[in-house]
A and B are shown apart, each in its own frame.
Chain A
Amino acid sequence: MTTGSVDLLVVDDGAVLRGYDCRDVVRVEEVAGEPGGYLVRLGRLGSPREVACREVLRSVALSPREIRPVPEVLRERITGEKPWAVGLTGREIYLLY
Chain B
Amino acid sequence: MIGEVIGMVSTSGISPLDEAREESLREASIEAEASGREKSQEESGPARSLLVFFLGAEGFAVDLAHARKVLRPSRIARVSGASPEVLGLMNCQGEVLCVLDLRRILSPGREMAPPAATEGKFIVVIQHGGKEAGFLVDAVRDVTELPASSVHPVLDSIDPSRARLFEGTVECGGQFVGLLSPSACLNP
Q: How far is the CA of A91 from the CA of B186 in the complex (A)?
A: 27
Among candidates A14, A15, A73, residue contacting B100 with C-beta atoms closer than 8 Å: A73
Given contacts A77-B86, A93-B91, contact A71 B79 (CB under 8 A): no
Query: In the assembly, what is the distance between CA of A72 and CA of B129, in Å?
Result: 11
A76 at the interface (CB under 8 A from B): yes
List of B residues within 8 angstroms of A81 by Cβ: 81
Q: Which residues of A contact B (CB under 8 A)?
A: 13-17, 68-74, 76-81, 86, 88, 92-93, 95
Number of A-B contacts (CB under 8 A): 63
- Which residues on A sit within 8 Å (CB–CB) of B83? 77-79
Question: A14 to chain B: which residues have CB within 8 Å?
Answer: 80
Number of B residues with CB within 8 Å of any CB on chain A: 26
Within 8 A of A (CB), among B57-88: 77-83, 85-86, 88
B89 touches A78 (CB 8 A): no
Question: Which residues in B have some Cβ–Cβ distance to A below 8 Å?
Answer: 77-83, 85-86, 88-91, 94-98, 100, 130-133, 186-188
By Cβ-Cβ distance, the 8 closest A-B pairs, closest first, are: A15-B80, A93-B77, A71-B98, A74-B98, A77-B83, A73-B133, A73-B98, A15-B78
| Interchain CB contact under 8 A, B132 and A16 | no
User: Which of B78, B85, B133, B186 contacts A16 (CB under 8 A)?
Assistant: B78
Contact B81 A73 (CB under 8 A): no
Check A78/B81 contact, CB under 8 A, given A71-B96, A86-B96, A93-B89: yes
A88:B80 contact, CB within 8 angstroms: no
Q: Is the interface of A mostly helix, strand, loop or mixed?
A: loop
Contacts A72-B130, A73-B133, A93-B91; is A78 near B82 (CB within 8 Å)?
Answer: yes
Please measure, in the bound complex, the distance between the C-alpha atom of A80 and the C-alpha atom of B130, giving whole angstroms: 24
Q: Indicate which residue in B81, B85, B97, B188 contacts A71 across the interface (CB closer than 8 Å).
A: B97
Q: Which residues of B have CB within 8 Å of A88?
A: 91, 94, 96
**Nearest A residue to B186 by beta-carbon distance?**
A73
Contacts of A95 in B (CB 8 A): 79, 89
| A73 pairs with B132, CB closer than 8 A | yes
A80 CB, nearest partner CB in chain B, Å = 5
- Is A86 in contact with B186, judged by CB distance below 8 angstroms? no
Instruction: Judge whether B85 and A77 touch: CB under 8 Å.
Output: yes
If A77-B188, A88-B91 touch, whether A71 touches B133 (CB-CB below 8 Å) is yes
A73 to B130 Cα, complex, angstroms: 10
Are B188 and A74 interface neighbours, CB within 8 A?
A: no
Contacts known (A71-B98, A86-B89, A88-B96); A77 close to B82, Cβ less than 8 A:
yes
Q: Smallest distance from the beta carbon of A38 to chain B beta carbons, Å?
A: 15
